Amino acid sequence: MIKCTKCQQIEFVQKSGIVRGKQRYFCKSCNYHFTLPEPHNPPDNKRHHQVTIMDIAGQLGISKSTVSRALRGHTDIHAGTRKIILDLAQQLEYQPNPLANALLKSRTNIIGILVPEFRHYFFPTIIMGAQEILSKAGYNVMICQSDESYETEVANVKALMSSRVDGLLVSVTAQTNNFDHFRTVLRKEVPLVFFNRVCPELDTPQVIVDDYNGAFQAVEHLIEQGYRRIAHLAGPVSLLVSRLRMQGYLDALQKHGFPVENELIIHYDLSEEKARIYANYLLSLSQPPDAIFAINDPTAIEIMLVAKSRGIKIPQELGIVGFSNDPISAIIEPSLTTVEQPVWEMGRQAARLLLEQMESPHNVTHTLDTKLIIRNSSVNLRS
């Protein structure tokens, strides 16, 4: 004896075929087709079945739609019903399955972050800044590091895209000359923000610091300290950041009427090994430099170590300035003069910019200020 779920009558109900293995009924009184609500039995084979809205609906004898609505906080739901649902959900430790949602909405709430390395202070700190903002906004973060390898970068972008990240925060490798993998990202309309090592030819939003002025001030400082033969151990030409710092270096020389000597300018791939090789090379020149401006602090520190091992006195015989204000630069002896950049803030800005992008795409470049921090590695005692 089946009771119509609509009019609650029994006598007019007849079977009306089987759909999806479920017996369907038809009430001739109210012309209503229906199936009997089945209690949802959590499968016994899955040992730790995650609680689903169906479990809640089953126990309460209501439909999963209602549960969903209650959980989502929809307004058009009976207050009592909502309370019962919410209570049971709490009691059952219900946790919504983000995968189902992700599939439905094509949104994963995951942001991919891709950096060349995180051995040094710089990128980990940026990541922490970004994470601060992103997790507040409800996003998780998937971090990849390309290890300064173009191939790894391409593979990582692919992996992140295949994980369907909702956005991408990227700093490219020193090798990266081809940007097709990022074009693919843009083509699929995944928001993309570059920071530090950006990609100017791609017309995407980016966060950088005022590299040019930072470099300019650093080199001018060396000149003011009386150094006369200032070399620059630069990053690869492919990176805008290298080119900007280089330009700052060149313009500072020019402003003070110093000649540009090509043998004093070296572009390198930012590897520790090469830093050492080129530092040695510079210091072995027949007319070696009396100061070196390094593209960043790790480079500057390698130079210091090489100089020390050759018995060259810093800052008396060799002035050194780095870039970024890595904590080591305050610890090493002599302490390293460097250009401070707001690293943590850069991560935050990049994250904020990405969130904005996801709201409404628009192209901006945020440029943060830098500040010269004068320490002992560049204070020429002769002057």
For position 33 contacting DNA by CB under 7 A, the verdict is yes
Give the one residue of 5, 59, 367, 376 binding DNA; rule: CB under 7 A.
5
Nearer to a second copy, 46 or 286 (CB): 46
How far apart CA 343 and CA 341 sit, in angstroms, is 6
For position 6 contacting DNA by CB under 7 A, the verdict is yes
Using CA atoms in the order 47, 52, 55, 57, what is the torsion angle rounded to 10 degrees? Answer: -170
How far apart CA 226 and CA 372 sit, in angstroms, is 17
With beta carbons less than 8 A apart as the criterion, state whether 325 and 296 touch: no
Rule CB under 7 A: which of 45-104 touch DNA? 49-50, 52-54, 61-66, 68-69, 71-72, 75-79, 81-82, 94, 96-97, 99-101, 103-104
The residues, any chain, with a CB within 8 Å of residue 158's CB and separated by 6 or more, are 181
User: Which of DNA, a second copy, none interacts with 189 (beta carbon under 5 to 8 A by kind)?
Assistant: a second copy
What binding mask, one character per residue, do residues 306-335 give for DNA by CB under 7 A, x or -? ------------------------------
How far apart CA 214 and CA 322 sit, in angstroms, is 10
Nearer to a second copy, 249 or 323 (CB): 323
How far apart CA 58 and CA 39 sit, in angstroms, is 5
User: Which of DNA, a second copy, none interacts with 48 (beta carbon under 5 to 8 A by kind)?
Assistant: a second copy
Burial 58-68 (b: 16+ CB within 10 A, else e): bbeebeeebbe
How far apart CA 292 and CA 306 sit, in angstroms, is 12
What residues line the site for a second copy (CB under 8 A)? Answer: 16-17, 19, 26, 30-33, 47-48, 50, 95-100, 102-103, 106, 108, 110, 118-119, 121, 124-125, 127-128, 131, 135, 140-145, 159-164, 187-189, 301, 305, 328, 331-333
Q: How many CA atoms lie within 13 A of 73 on its CB side?
A: 0
What's the token pair of residue 114? 């891709």
With beta carbons less than 8 A apart as the criterion, state whether 113 and 146 touch: no
Nearer to a second copy, 200 or 361 (CB): 361
For position 21 contacting DNA by CB under 7 A, the verdict is yes
Neighbouring-strand partners of residue 144: 114
User: Which of a second copy, DNA, none interacts with 142 (beta carbon under 5 to 8 A by kind)?
Assistant: a second copy
Residues at the site binding DNA, with contacts judged by CB under 7 A: 5-6, 19-21, 32-35, 37, 43, 49-50, 52-54, 61-66, 68-69, 71-72, 75-79, 81-82, 94, 96-97, 99-101, 103-106
